[in-house]
Structure 1
Amino acid sequence: MNAERQVGISEVHPWIRFWARSFDLLLVAIPVAVAWWFWFPPAEITWFEVMLFGMAVLFFDLLIEPVLISRLATTPGKWVFSIRVINPDGSLLSFEQALRRSDMVWAKGLGAGTPLVGQFLMAAQHYELSANAKTFWDEEGGFEVEHREIRGARVIGAIAIAVMVLLAAGLTLAAV
């Protein structure tokens, strides 16, 4: 392993990983929300619909993330925060590896979006990552998560994209 990867791997960044996943989920949530409210316009939004919506977003992310990780070693959110998921030898994960990792994150890290269970599991994995420098799914799969220097321009670009996406979604939903 080269020295740059060694330095990147040894650092632990639970909150940066959280914000990267949050950005990815935002990008998935917007088209899901537009489709959801277009086909099923609610007269009144209930907590149950909000819970189902969150679960749907996580499910669609489960379908998208493995493709990106296996092809690029990153997702849009991970790219913004300079995170890559790779094998210990530096190679890309296979689609099967990436799917298994995403499935473990979905089930054991996010509780499939189940209220309270998901929050408990996220807190447990934050502790695990902080204490042992690896999450359960990365340890189990033998994956390495590289954290490189975060470039300010990427974060500013991501904020601009998030604002534009939210504005576009708001305008679309207002028109429906």
Structure 2
Amino acid sequence: MQIYVGKNGQQLGPYTLLQINEMLEAGEVNGDTLGWMPGESGWKPLRELPPVLSLIQSIEKGKLDAELARSDRPTLPPPSSIPPQRLPSHAISRFGARMIDLMIFQIILSSVWILPDPPQSMPNPDDYENFRDFFAALWKVSQDTSNTEQLEYAWKVLYFQLGSVFAWQLIEPIFLALTSTTFGKWIFRLRVSGPDGGRPGFFRCLYRSVLLFLFGMGAGFEPLRWIANFFAFFRIQNSGVAFWDEQAHTRVDQDPVGPGRSLLVLLVLIALMAADYFLPR
């Protein structure tokens, strides 16, 4: 196909359709430029030549799409106003935050809930370095049903441990609904949010805590708690989402933890372990 172009009183060409397309894109000719091709009765604007008209429409559509794309492109804020990046929470941070929260709550609760003096045959907490070893010894003693007084005391202590864990599951939703965090989570710069990115409601947090208590802590029973912790840890580590957050439609994000915050975490843990060891139980 040969097409002639008339510009400035001169006849130019012939050109192929591909050459006409290149000239249109380069702006050398436009739809109003006169043209002629075999079969036409006379010179006409290029837009009236059917083969050229489709080229013009295609080029104009491409320009329009590019203009729309530029107008829809979001304007980036200046660097100073860009909010800090929130990262998916790390499993170690989440478990560390929960450990700190439970330690603080149990220390406070133990100062209010005073246990009776143990029988002479019962393990003495002063003989153990931490609560875990003490409770393990109590569990062993609780299996001996021959001593009623000893058995009754053992169950009271075990009820205290389970009760403190369960009670925290009821108190934590209040903190999350009001502030999106707890002290332990604040230490690790963790924040719990709802589906809309804001603070989750109390009942959503309560539902989350119940699921966490059952599936993340094995309802507080050994060895279910360790099994539940194991699977929960690796699920969070691999997918970044815990089962209870997935079901409750909550999200746990974490701001970057710098050296200063890491030092604060270490100091808090040392202080809590010291309180656990030295405070009367």
Report the TM-score when normalising by structure 1: 0.82
Q: Deviations over 1:57-89 (max 9, x none)?
A: 211211221011111111111000010010132
The reply on whether 1:40 has 2:119 as its aligned counterpart is: no
Give the unaligned 5+ runs of structure 1: none
Which residue of 26, 34, 49 corresponds with 2:103? Answer: 26
Report how many residues are paired: 169
Letter of the aligned partner of 1:42 in structure 2?
P
Asked which structure has the greater CA Rg, the reply is: 2
Provide the rounded CA distance (Å) in 1 between the counterparts of 2:240 and 2:271: 35
Q: Which has the higher contact order (CA 8 A, sep 6+)?
A: 1
Greater per-residue helix proportion: 1
1:42 and 1:154, CA in 2 relative to 1: closer, same or farther beyond 3 A? farther
Cα distance in structure 2, aligned partners of 1:127 and 1:54: 26
Matches within 5 A, 1:1-150: 4=84, 8-9=87-88, 12-36=89-113, 38-43=114-119, 44-45=122-123, 46-47=138-139, 48=142, 49=154, 51-150=158-257
CA offset at residue 53 of structure 1? 3.4
1:19-49, Cα deviation, whole Å (9 max, x unpaired)? 111011110110222334x242324242254
Structure 2, unaligned stretches of length 5 or more?
Answer: 1-81, 124-137, 143-153
Within 1, Cα distance between the matches of 2:238 and 2:272? 36
SS in structure 2 at match of 1:91:
coil
**Percent identity for Structure 1 against Structure 2:** 26
TM-score by length of 2: 0.54
Aligned alpha-carbon RMSD (Å): 2.4
- Greater shift in the superposed pair: 73-82 or 124-133: 124-133
Shift in CA distance, 126/172, structure 1 to aligned 2, threshold 3 Å: closer
Q: CA deviation at 1:127?
A: 2.3
